[in-house]
Amino acid sequence: MIRVLYLAGSGRSGSTLVTTALGQIDGLFAAGELRYLWQRGLVDERPCGCGLSLPECPVWSAVLADLPAHEPASIAAGLRERLRMRNRLNVPPHPDDATITALYQAIHAHTGGAVIVDSSKLPPYGVLLAGLPGIDLRVLHVVRDPRAAAFSWRRRRSLDGDERLMTRHPVWKAALLWTVWNGAVLRRWSRGAYLRVRYEDLVQDPQTWVRRIAAFAGVSSASLPFTEDGLLALAPTHSVAGNPVRHRTGGVEIRADDEWRTAMTGRDNAVVTALAAPLMARLGYPFGKGRK
């Protein structure tokens, strides 16, 4: 069986931090957002986490060579249609699934059987993976205060260090995405092989949470990727797509990004809180700006 640790939830919730940290541990392979491999990695030619293009990367070139003949643009277009959230958790089988299955098989083979850390997040893609033959799916639900996530969606960030910018959402759309995506995860996976981590808890005690998540994935490690002074020690990973911070290396201080508490307008805070209220209490977030 091919074990996949699937990071589910909404964007701007800390999944890149989790993926990159886990990728420093033996037995875990930080694959990044694999649902975007076809479009962003092959069609758009965005770089691997190591900085090289996928065809030039020693890991991905070997993986891609093992796949059956395929047209990346066609698979990307098919995934975009099948994974629309209007379909929610109904993702029927498709002929392209054979190529997607081959992708995970090739990653498994070329990483020595490592657990594949897939930070694709989108609930329908998790459902697709759960239906593939030979996949042992474990779901890590990464959540963050919806107001922090919405504030992050408004920031202007370069994409992989070039002139392109990451997608930006208005706060109302970010709040709806947070509610719909996290609600879908809870409906589909809130029991069984499921673990939830809040961004706020992760940054407060990163070593405890990284160890716990690795154990949940089935990897026990006596050596965590932290220096004696608590910095996260990052070597390059081979993650696909995702936040450009996946390219960071060296010692990184993990600290809470709480700028939203002082910089978010009262109106934006009220809009996000109203739209996300049905899930905020369930996930442990107070309606006020105080910490919980």
> Tell me, what's the pLDDT at 191?
82
d(CA 122, CA 223): 31
Domain assignment present for residue 151? The answer is: no
- Tell me the one-letter amino acid at 91: V
Domain assignment present for residue 169? The answer is: no
CATH number of residue 121's parent domain? 3.40.50
Helix (H) or strand (E) holding 138: strand 135-143
Q: How many domains does the chain have?
A: 1
Residue 231, class by beta-carbon neighbours within 10 Å (0-12 exposed, 13-18 middle, 19+ buried)? middle
d(CA 130, CA 18): 21
Helix, coil or strand: residue 187: helix
Enter the tokens of residue 151.
């504030």
Domain assignment present for residue 172? The answer is: no
Domain assignment present for residue 65? The answer is: yes
> Tell me, what's the pLDDT at 17?
94
Domain assignment present for residue 280? The answer is: no
Domain hosting residue 53, numbered range: 2-146+190-253
Q: Cα dihedral angle (183, 35, 88, 201), rounded to 10 degrees?
A: 0
**Helix, strand and coil in the chain, % to nearest 5:** 45, 15, 40
Domain assignment present for residue 268? The answer is: no
Closest CA to 154 of 141, 173, 180: 173
Q: Are 272 and 146 in contact (CB under 8 A)?
A: yes
Domain assignment present for residue 291? The answer is: no
Which are the contacts of 122, defined by CB distance < 8 A and separation ≥ 6? Answer: 8, 35, 83, 85, 181
> Tell me, what's the pLDDT at 232?
96
d(CA 74, CA 249): 34
Q: What are the mean pLDDT values of the chain's consecutive 10-residue runs (292 residues total)?
A: 97 94 96 97 95 96 96 96 78 94 98 98 95 97 97 73 68 94 94 95 97 95 89 96 88 93 95 95 86 58
Domain assignment present for residue 239? The answer is: yes
Q: Are 166 and 157 in contact (CB under 8 A)?
A: yes
d(CA 156, CA 144): 19
pTM over 0.85: yes
> Tell me, what's the pLDDT at 9?
96
Tokens 């909404």 correspond to 10
Enter the tokens of residue 135.
């996949």
d(CA 73, CA 258): 39
Enter the tokens of residue 37.
């491999």
Enter the tokens of residue 207.
């070593």
